[in-house]
Chain A
Amino acid sequence: MNDHAPSRDERIAGLKGLGTSRRRVEDARFTQGKGNYVDDMKLPDMLFGDFVRSPYAHARVTAIDAEAAKALPGVVAVLTADDLRPLGLHWMPTLAGDKQMVLADGKVLFQGQEVAFVVATDRYAAADAVELVEVTYEELPVVTDPFKALAPDAPVLREDLQGQTEGAHGPRKHHNHIFTWEMGDEDGTEAAIADAEVVAEEMIYYHRTHPCPLETCGCVASMDKVNGKLTLWGTFQAPHAVRTVASLISGIAEHNIRVVSPDIGGGFGNKVGVYPGYICSIVASIVTGKPVKWIEDRMENLMSTAFARDYWMKGKIAATKDGKITALDCHVTADHGGFDACADPTKFPAGFFNICTGSYDIPIAHLSVDGVYTNKAPGGVAYRCSFRVTEAAYFIERMIEVLAIKLGIDAAELRAKNFIRKEQFPYHSALGWEYDSGDYHTAWDKALKAVGYDALRREQAERVAAFKRGETRKLLGIGLSFFTEIVGAGPVKNCDILGLGMFDSCEIRIHPTGSAIARLGTISQGQGHATTFAQILASEIGIPADDITVEEGDTDTAPYGLGTYGSRSTPVAGAATAMAGRKIRAKAQMIAAYLLEVHDDDVEFDVDRFVIKGAPERFKTMKEIAFASYNQAIPGLEPGLEAVSYYDPPNMTYPFGAYICVMEIDVDTGVWEIRQFYALDDCGTRINPMVIEGQVHGGATEGLAIAMGQELAYDEMGNVKTGTLMDFFLPTAVETPHYTTDHTETPSPHHPIGAKGVGESPNVGSVPAYSNAVQDAFRAFGHIHAHMPHDHARIWKIADGLGLHA
């Protein structure tokens, strides 16, 4: 035969569907500098905005004199709160049910807060004018410590809330208190701890840091006064939600607002919120009738747009003498800064922190979280993790280590002893979650074997002996971490943001020649959606991924969805994609049956075609079916081949993994070197192994930064001490270790293709691995716990405190 009919395997391979390490289609433009980011936009007559920001963390603003600024050539306008007040836009709602000043309304609450917005014909004139705006401040006492903020005589930060004893999440106990959130059984947990054979207690602080995407936040607002339409291009992780919020607060009808997220240079949670720059740009465009661009610089990004973490977690963990955990208690003091602008689902003011029982079968637990105002920037976003999950994972993975020390047993063994067993899934946790699936013991055993755990422990013991003999100044740390993520928010019954249910969507059109476009409610910021969602669809509808365009981010064309953060794209929009694909397939089946002149039930789907059952040589390919849908009058069927799915997930998904870090630490200099980093991820069904590996590398490198040095540090005056990349640690290739990636595959039982999401697992899982490695290195000398970040000086302090420099 001359004609080679492709084999079934060849047809499967040709689709580049699920499980294929398909090359990222985005990379051609990104690697050639041909991406199209917000700051690449140039519109005719475009104006530029820039902020006057407060140098003080807490001060009254008694006067603003903008006359000199307005007189500068090129300056078009200087907006202050007084200009926004008549529009009701001097304050705006936050995603957390609080409100936030758009421009300083009588006072400022954090260094870098927006005070006035200068609009000019060029970017340089705007920057010069900022210098000329004279603001008179009257300094007020500064509170940067959330515990001091709750003292009875602490200064009142939010005068606008004075006397309000009820907040968005229940009663407020103090003038700087935001909410208390409780889960679990307080009395039962207290009793179990009181009766326990062993109790370990520790205060675990997860410091304040920042997602610091390479591209900062920004937008271009363009009000077309002729047709009344506002277009807003911006770095939005949730463009549809931004449109709705913009409509609600501006009063512009939603159909007259178009929000577009073009290419986004990383988000990691930083680009979920709504910022004063967006509001001011919109107002300035409405006022001037011209497009207005606003782009943060790096210092503004670090100082003013959403930070992450800043959680003080007081833990008590109880166990039997032989290491079976009997109870867990956690109280969190959460520093939210000057406004509560967390980006959590409305009913979860501490996000999903109640996943803090981790991967362990803990019979009873209690959690309470107190949110507190301080003179720091607002935020509290999920920096490459699901809502507050990396805090929870760090907390439990440190508590396990602290307990292991107290019990005097090996931390790997303690974990294995307490893992939720495979047969316990679906597992109901003491703090209210239903874990969908897992096989922790298999993953853990695989990880321990892969790194040669027992040999590492022997080497570590030998190293300690050599250190004591004065033969070396380096110690060896073995950092263990086993994490369970909770992602894919979420079921509309309990997950919404500002009343918008957290479903997501996909709309598919098959073109006559058999190619397709899929539009989703999410937006990629580097995750590679255009690559992976096409793969899901390829396997569902039998059209090669290379023939499918994936488009996101334009609210005029994409179906409504809640966006990309919290590892929700694959669990929610990925499911919508599969479900929409199945609708396409169902119609295609009817078309195929008609073309083959058989009953619908007599054909079945086979890779890229429908075949007659028992006679696979008689078939119609999806390409043929697509064309037929446009040119055949099929009785009972509408022309065309399109589908849309809005997917409301029945549950979250629970990816998990085992990470192990082996670190050399010099006790004199605090210098560390990572000798080995092993990352095993179980994210259910694997869509694109290469993209997964890339995600793990990226997340583990962010975890490295956070654990080993990255922080937003404030002095007592509320000055940001780490406002540039000189001091705010972003690792380069030199500091980044080699990662060994591995996997097990436990599909989610409720997700259409079994996928759980992976983008954020490596941040959640790696931070405890690095931190535990540092702390484990000093375990032999009596060390129990020290706070991150473990920069050279802080590591040195651990050693110094243990007398190792004597």
Chain B
Amino acid sequence: MIPAPFTYHRPADIASALKILGEYGDDARVVAGGHSLIPMMKLRLTAIDHLIDLQGVESLRGIRVSGRDIRIGAMVTQAEILADRALAAAVPVLAEAALQIADPQVRNLGTIGGNVANGDPGNDLPALMQCLDATYEIEGPGGPRDVAARDFYDSAYVTARADDEILLAVRFTAPEGGAAYVKQKRKIGDYATAATAVALVKSGGKCASASIAMTNLADTPVWAQDAGAALVGTDCSPAAVKAAVAAMQEAISPVEDNRGPVDFKRHVAGRLLAEAIATAWSRA
């Protein structure tokens, strides 16, 4: 559990970080909380010649809540998300999800930026960001650009972020109505066996809009557009939930691993989604 030798960089601003990244290309990687990258390096599954630590980049910190407009700097930790009262009031489902990430020690260092940008299908926040239709602010040599969370993930660890770009922040509009994040895991500290993010709006006793995304049930987070659509116009009755679950199960493609076989994961995903819809509906 000892990594191969590497050079450590600690730039003080984005421009410096981008410069180092540009200079070393494929041989360099940025690190935020380090909870995915450092273990991979210690296991020698990844060798990084130049590690660029973003802890010193002040501009990547800070949470901004203006009405329903939310902007969270990439280096904001899960612990900081959990501690921010304005954020919790505006987007309670974010705290609900963040609290289910690993354990307090991990949350003290783990960041929202690392969680969403690493492209690990096991991470919890990508599905929530897709559910909330978040936008990722990215900067590279060509300047800043925005990418929708729903367009960001290509396959495991492969994302729309180029190697010479850095995620700056996550931006989204706090959902109206009710939302929920429900996760099943084997133990504290584990990734999800299955998890789901649901946000829906109730109007006149009917579901006016619904968004559903799933965690760790494919090689990317899965925004299940049809599953959400199946709820719209219904009162989230058992039949509607059943249709949403069926649509979701069409969209996911879990693989067998130590958490269990495919059939099990599909079944659990369905049960969790039903629970999440019921919870979100009760909060809407």
Contact = CB atoms under 8 A, between A and B. Distances in A.
A125 to B, nearest CB: 10
B261 interface: yes
A678 interface: no
Contacts of B190: 726
Interface in B228-275: 258-261, 263-264, 267-268, 271-272
Contact of B187 (A297, A731, A796): A731
Contacts of B191: 726
22 contacts: A124-B2, A127-B2, A131-B4, A298-B1, A668-B271, A669-B184, A671-B184, A713-B258, A722-B258, A726-B189, A726-B190, A729-B187, A732-B188, A732-B189, A735-B188, A791-B186, A792-B260, A792-B264, A793-B264, A797-B261, A797-B264, A800-B264
Q: Which 4 A-B pairs have the closest CB atoms?
A: A793-B260, A127-B2, A668-B271, A297-B1
B44 interface: yes
A50 B283 CA distance: 56
Nearest to A728: B258
Interface string A791-806: 1110011001000010
Interface residues of A, number: 30
Interface string B1-37: 1101100000000000000000000000000000000
Contacts of B271: 668-669
Decide if the interface of chain B is mainly helix, strand, loop or mixed.
loop
B196 interface: no
A407 B266 CA distance: 38
Interface centre among B189, B191, B261, B268 (most CB of A within 10 A): B268
B260 A721 contact: no
B154 interface: no
B69 interface: no
A732 B4 CA distance: 31
Contacts of B2: 123-124, 127
Contacts of B193: 792
B103 interface: yes
Nearest to A126: B2
Nearest to A127: B2
Contacts of A732: 103, 187-189
A805 B189 CA distance: 29
Given A668-B271, A669-B268, A793-B264, A299 B188 contact: no
B118 to A, nearest CB: 16
Contacts of A729: 186-187
Contacts of B43: 299
Given A668-B268, A793-B260, A796-B267, A128 B186 contact: no
Contacts of A633: none
A131 B4 CA distance: 9
A97 to B, nearest CB: 34
A127 B1 CA distance: 8
Nearest to B260: A793
A721 B260 CA distance: 13
A794 to B, nearest CB: 8
A800 B258 contact: no
Contact of B5 (A123, A128, A791): A128
Interface centre among A299, A722, A726 (most CB of B within 10 A): A726
Given A796-B267, A805-B267, A299 B1 contact: yes
Interface string A120-135: 0001100110010000
A791 B267 contact: no
Nearest to B261: A793
Contact of A670 (B103, B189, B264): B264
A293 to B, nearest CB: 14
Contacts of B260: 670, 791-793, 796
A103 B261 CA distance: 37
A734 interface: yes
Contacts of B268: 668-670, 792, 796
Interface residues of B, number: 25
Interface string B170-189: 00000000000000101111
A435 to B, nearest CB: 38
A709 interface: yes
Contacts of B272: 669
A556 interface: no
Interface string A761-795: 00000000000000000000000000000011100
Contacts of B267: 668, 796, 800, 805
A101 to B, nearest CB: 24
Contact of B4 (A128, A709, A722, A800): A128
A727 interface: yes
A131 B44 contact: yes
Nearest to A666: B271
A722 to B, nearest CB: 6
Nearest to B42: A297
A507 to B, nearest CB: 41
B18 to A, nearest CB: 30
A298 B1 CA distance: 8
A783 to B, nearest CB: 17
B257 to A, nearest CB: 9
Contacts of B103: 732
Contacts of A793: 259-261, 264
Contacts of B1: 297-299
B4 to A, nearest CB: 7
B188 A709 contact: no
Nearest to A797: B264
A671 B187 CA distance: 10
Interface in A703-727: 709, 713, 721-722, 726-727
A305 B103 CA distance: 29
B264 A796 contact: yes
A709 B186 CA distance: 8
Given A721-B258, A732-B189, 16 more contacts: A127-B2, A299-B43, A668-B271, A669-B272, A670-B260, A670-B268, A731-B187, A732-B103, A734-B188, A735-B187, A792-B193, A792-B268, A793-B259, A793-B261, A793-B264, A805-B267
Interface centre among B184, B187, B260, B263 (most CB of A within 10 A): B187
A729 B186 CA distance: 8
Interface string A93-136: 00000000000000000000000000000011001100100000
Interface in B79-136: 103
Contacts of A123: 2
Interface string A72-103: 00000000000000000000000000000000
A727 B1 CA distance: 17
A792 B184 contact: yes
Contacts of A731: 187
Nearest to A796: B264
A135 to B, nearest CB: 16
Nearest to B256: A793
Contacts of A131: 4, 44
Contacts of A792: 184, 186, 193, 259-260, 264, 268
A792 B272 CA distance: 14
Interface in B140-187: 184, 186-187
A805 B272 CA distance: 15
A800 B186 contact: no
A124 B2 CA distance: 7
A79 B2 CA distance: 20
Contacts of A796: 260, 264, 267-268
Nearest to A722: B258
B38 to A, nearest CB: 14
A796 B260 CA distance: 9
B195 to A, nearest CB: 12
